[in-house]
Amino acid sequence: MILNLPKAPMIDLSRNADGSSDVRAFARDVAEGLSREQKRLPSRYFYDAAGSELFRQIMELPEYYLTRSEFELLTQHRKNITEHFTKEGFFHLIDLGAGDAFKTKILLKELSHQQHAFDYVPVDISGDAMQQLTNSLQQELPDVQVQAVVGEYAQALEWLQVHKSERKVVLFLGSNIGNFDADEGLAFLSSIRGYLDKGDQLLMGVDLRKDPDTILLAYDDSSGTTAAFNLNLLHRINRELGGNFDLEQFRHYALYDPQEGVMRSFLISQQQQQVYLRSLDRSYTFAAWEAVHTENSRKYTMNQVQGLGQQSGFRTDTIFQDERRYFADVLFTAV
């Protein structure tokens, strides 16, 4: 059955003890990235309120096959997937990088329909996204107990280890694992395993290798929405760190390497320029046509995915795929 409990308040691990928002990590990471010989900005900072809305628009683009592929496989396999979750009774369903939970709601509705005992713990760095999700779930699935957590994945998993002692099922959907390089991905999955008990589960989404042109178009759409999504990161730096980036002098550039299976996104400075960040009291020089790396999106073979799970302390239980085999959700069990 479903636990019909009072709605829990949102837990915000991104705030200081006095309730103020902590931008120090953002400032530190921007300073470190722009000080490198090859400049970079972390993709996790894409998702402020404006960035989250732009990504919602990206998911609806005809070129962006990823969301449709995963939505299709979750819809097709929802009963089988949830049956794997519910074999051992009550569990916490922990959704890392939940966003608007557009795809997760497929599983939530199935679990609710079958009246299984669970609660839902969406985790995201965007407080705006978590507040909107909490509100929408109160309307759509009022019987599901929701405990939203705002913060980095490691913060949230540490908090969950202390406060949620029952069995855990972790969702890491949407090919988010592809944002890490190979070593980082292994370290990240190993860290997740470290917060789980033997028998806990992980359902992880992976984008599979396919026609390189199909992949490239998904990250460089004709409408320019993906470009706006990347450029919004400079908007955020201007707003939160007192920057004076002139967005007209930067452009988005996407590149896919089919040998490595890595999609890379950049912001290109179209002229020599200096940018000042007031909160850091520092200026950064950009050469004409200098690139700032903003995102990797790694595409996997199934052998690579299963090897990654095994090295991280998981056993591969079941692989769910869409009909075109563009995408896979892989169910792992902690061993």
Q: Are residues 153 and 292 in the same domain?
A: no
Whole-angstrom Cα distance, residue 215 to residue 231? 20
- 23 within domain boundaries: no
The Cα angle at residue 125 between residues 132 and 173, in degrees rounded to 5: 85
**Are 93 and 201 members of one domain?**
yes
Confirm if 116 and 104 have CB atoms less than 8 A apart: no
Domain CATH for 321? 3.40.50.150
Is 197 part of a structural domain of the chain?
yes
Q: Which pLDDT does position 52 carry in this prediction?
A: 85
Tell me: do 233 and 276 sit in the same domain: yes
Residues 190 and 230 in one domain: no
Domain shared by 154 and 196, yes or no? yes
Structural domain for 277, as ranges: 212-298
Q: Has residue 150 been placed in a domain?
A: yes
Per-residue pLDDT tens, the chain, 335 aa: give them.
444 444 556 788 765 444 445 678 899 999 999 999 999 999 989 988 899 889 989 999 999 999 999 999 999 999 999 999 998 899 999 999 998 899 999 999 999 998 899 999 999 988 888 999 999 999 999 999 999 999 888 888 888 887 777 899 999 999 999 999 889 999 999 999 999 999 999 999 999 999 999 999 999 999 999 999 999 999 999 999 999 999 999 999 999 999 999 999 999 999 999 999 999 999 999 999 999 999 999 999 999 999 999 999 999 999 999 999 999 999 999 99
Looking at the structure, tell me whether residues 193 and 83 fall in a common domain: yes
- What is the predicted pLDDT for the residue at 9? 67
Amino acid letter for position 277: L
Clarify whether residues 305 and 294 are in a common domain: no
For residue 202, is it within any domain? yes
Position 37 in a domain: no
Q: What is the pTM of this model?
A: 0.86
As a whole number of angstroms, the distance between CA 177 and CA 312 comes to: 13
Number of domain units in the chain: 2
Q: Do 112 and 166 reside in the same domain of the chain? A: yes
- Structural contact between residues 103 and 174, judged by C-beta atoms closer than 8 angstroms: yes
Residue 17 in domain: no
